[in-house]
Structure 1
Amino acid sequence: MTTDTLFKPVVRTVTYGVIGCGMMGQEHLRNIALLQGTRVGTIYEPDPLMRAEAARIAPEARMVDTLDELLADDDLDCLLIASPNFRHVEQLQAVAARKALPVLVEKPLFTDPEHSRAVAEFARSYPAPVWVAMEYRYMPPVARLLEQAEAATGGIRMLTIREHRFPFLRKVGDWNRFNRYTGGTFVEKCCHFFDLMRLALKSDPVRVMAMGGQAQNHQDEAYEGHVPDIFDHGYVIVEFASGMRAMLELCMFAEGARWQEEISAVGHRGKIEALVPGPGRFWPEHLGAPPVAQVIVSPREPKGPEVHEIPVDPTLLEAGDHNGSTFYQHQRFLEVVRGERPAPEVSIEDGRWAVLMGMAAQRSMIEGRAVELSEFDA
């Protein structure tokens, strides 16, 4: 498939206002640039280095010094919030106080259990659509698994997600080294996977049991005298209202693995797996071309795994670290902005559940007990 075949004719140009242009914000900018009928009008990014890089990617955008200046721009059609995790709630509230525009807000939606009530109130009162950026839904191999899971399994009875990856990268101010800013690794990193669990099993979680901790990463680092406290590994088991169970295994010191994500769904009819490589820029050159994602369908009768490669357009792989998913997510978000899709596919409620599941996992690890999701009721 060529890049040209990916682009859908547009009805009108959509102008984005962008809040935050660090590593993830820049990935968004590169993908917005690939979509016809879009432009970035205004950017608010306070860090000088990140601001300069954002200006290089989106040279026609106007740079402003405050969020208020950005929100004063009457030419904006929608907003992207890609600021550090702990800023999301306050910035959503600031947007609500000024103007009601469609918003694509990065995960996690919030980082403090006390914010759950504020998020629920925001969802009830904000009149424009809000899409929570759960990119992993839109990775082509993961999307294929979700599409075919029912037929391949006859109904999922067990769901397992494994991520073996590199440690957290450095970010502005090193905010991602501390639980108080990230919400904890199993909120910051793993809310994607908890979202996939709810989506695949079509049920809400009721109970979480988990074990994990900080075994390897960042222990020799210090920032203003504080040693990072983020976890780097763990196991999480989630029980759902439907009676189904799912498991997550995370290791953040396994960047030597061929596959970064491995998702397995099993039912009475068979098994389906999605194998997803990590970012191509981290693949060692001496090993040749990076691996291509796969979906494997393994029926019980007749036995015999069916391996399907799921290639992603090279232009999309170059634009970001998420297997093309950021591009596909923006395609659908733009359909909401243009009125071609009735509502976001990933709602505030979806984003809230994903965070609460991560918080329950963190609490279970720290307190050594099963945690009921009802403990976090808004």
Structure 2
Amino acid sequence: MAAIRYGIVGAGMMGREHMLNISHLPGGSAAVTCVADPHPLSRAAALDLASSLGRPLKVFSSHGELLESGLCDVVVVSSPNMTHFGILMDILRHPRAHHVLVEKPLCTTVHHCKEIMAAAKARPEVLVHVGLEYRFMPPVAKLLQVVNSGEIGKVKMVAIREHRFPFLVKVENWNRFNANTGGTLVEKCCHFFDLMRLFAAADPVRVMASGAIDVNHKDEVYDGKVPDIIDNAFVIVEFDNGARGMLDLCMFAEGSKNEQEISVVGDIGKGEAFVPEGIVRLGTRAGGRDGVQTSPAADVRIKYEGLHHGSSYLEHLAFLAAVRAAGSGGAAPAVDLRDGLLSVAIGVAGQLSIEQGRFVSIEEVLS
């Protein structure tokens, strides 16, 4: 098969991470042919990376030039959050069809997510995958298999703890402000709200959250403005089947053994996943504490671990397979636009709940 040609819009940290993941896909199946970024330093870094990989690369200063070039079949959008909407609309309106992998969050607002969905309906030949790659982390995927097998019974509670380091420095510090990111619960935590939906096998109904900016970024000033992104929160999500989810987020917890700890409790048992420890625990009410079993979680398909424990590589495998299938008339993205919309909607509801100190319904934010 001919190699699928990839163009990447946004050559910052994640854009170059996508370049590395694609370079490790099965031999000859995919190639990054072009990159677009308005920042000269990012373009230079992409060229340096391509050179180190022994790959030719064409660089552009705008995504419009990339789309007009005819050099790519697929576009990976890894630009700052607030640019996703405009770039996606340009891709979906372009005369030539380009399949798309867009980094999370889909957009920074529910309204923009819905506009993208409407535009995509007019281009059924275009496949759009939303980059919620935490689904593909081996411990998470293994726990999801356990839950779907019925071993823990009907899911009642999903608890996700992310205790980690602060936000990284990005180009022009765009990720320091809610107006650019959608807020921490959208920018960062859409991953976890997506996982809650998967484990609960249900859709969200309402959200209650408490959070603040307590430690990080308080002494930073950019163009006279102090960052407003929260660095810790508790978020409760209620689902339409009666299940509940809870997120415990702390971004000044570098002293943690695991960055993510996921607990799913059903009426029969409990399953847990730990990242980066890479293990899954399973126990039942009948077996008690002594019956809890621990097993490693790995995926032999991973050829590049990267920044996300191999999940981005597995995501690219799934996306490439869908793109190949789309060429023969039958394909659906592993993570679709509705998944992207609802992960953003829960985050938006959480941000609003923190601001107003009340439960916020998903119906309210979707309308």
| Shorter-chain TM-score range | over 0.9
- The answer (yes or no) to whether the contact 2:39–2:61 under 8 Å persists in 1 is no
- The answer (yes or no) to whether the contact 1:77–1:337 under 8 Å persists in 2 is no
Q: Scaled by the length of structure 2, what TM-score is found? A: 0.92
**Displacement of 1:126:** 2.6
CA spacing shift, 1:141–1:207, aligned 2, 3 Å = same
**Displacement of 1:46:** 1.8
Q: 1: CA distance between counterparts of 2:293 and 2:110?
A: 43
Q: 1: CA distance between counterparts of 2:119 and 2:248?
A: 33
Per mean C-alpha deviation after superposition, the further-off stretch among 60-69 and 163-172 is: 60-69
Secondary structure (helix, strand or coil) at the match of 2:17 reads: helix
- The answer (yes or no) to whether the contact 2:183–2:229 under 8 Å persists in 1 is yes
Q: Scaled by the length of structure 1, what TM-score is found? A: 0.90
Query: Unaligned regions of 5+ residues in structure 2, if any?
Result: none
Secondary structure (helix, strand or coil) at the match of 1:63 reads: strand
Whichever residue aligns with residue 24 of structure 1, its letter is M
Number of the residue aligned with 2:25: 35
Root-mean-square deviation (CA, aligned residues, Å) is 1.5
- The answer (yes or no) to whether the contact 2:345–2:366 under 8 Å persists in 1 is no
Q: 2: CA distance between counterparts of 1:203 and 1:311?
A: 27
Query: Unaligned regions of 5+ residues in structure 1, if any?
Result: 1-10, 278-291
Number of the residue aligned with 2:129: 131
**Displacement of 1:50:** 1.7
After superposition, give the CA deviation of every residue in 1:122-161 in whole Å (9 maximum; x if it has no partner).
2322321100000100000000000111433112111100
**Displacement of 1:311:** 4.2
Whichever residue aligns with residue 186 of structure 2, its letter is V
- The answer (yes or no) to whether the contact 2:92–2:120 under 8 Å persists in 1 is no
**Displacement of 1:296:** 0.6
Secondary structure (helix, strand or coil) at the match of 1:208 reads: strand
Per mean C-alpha deviation after superposition, the further-off stretch among 167-176 and 89-98 is: 89-98
Q: Are 1:293 and 2:274 an aligned pair?
A: no
Q: Are 1:302 and 2:287 an aligned pair?
A: yes
After superposition, give the CA deviation of every residue in 1:264-318 in whole Å (9 maximum; x if it has no partner).
00112211000002xxxxxxxxxxxxxx31101112222311111224678522x
Whichever residue aligns with residue 8 of structure 2, its letter is V
Number of the residue aligned with 2:252: 253
Q: 2: CA distance between counterparts of 1:209 and 1:123?
A: 31
Secondary structure (helix, strand or coil) at the match of 2:281 reads: strand
Whichever residue aligns with residue 17 of structure 1, its letter is G
Number of the residue aligned with 1:25: 15
**Displacement of 1:332:** 0.5
Secondary structure (helix, strand or coil) at the match of 1:316 reads: coil
Q: 2: CA distance between counterparts of 1:42 and 1:216?
A: 40
- The answer (yes or no) to whether the contact 1:312–1:323 under 8 Å persists in 2 is no
Q: Which contiguous aligned blocks of 4+ residues in structure 1 show a shift greater than 6 angstroms?
A: none
Q: Are 1:325 and 2:311 an aligned pair?
A: yes
**Displacement of 1:189:** 0.2
Q: How does 1:352-363 map to 2 (within 5 A)?
A: 352-363=341-352
**Displacement of 1:198:** 1.1
Number of the residue aligned with 2:86: 90
Per mean C-alpha deviation after superposition, the further-off stretch among 146-155 and 228-237 is: 146-155
Number of the residue aligned with 2:145: 147
Q: How does 1:212-227 map to 2 (within 5 A)?
A: 212-227=211-226
Q: 2: CA distance between counterparts of 1:14 and 1:316?
A: 19
Number of the residue aligned with 1:368: 357
- The answer (yes or no) to whether the contact 1:149–1:272 under 8 Å persists in 2 is yes
Q: 2: CA distance between counterparts of 1:377 and 1:268?
A: 31
**Displacement of 1:75:** 3.6
Name the count of aligned residue pairs.
352
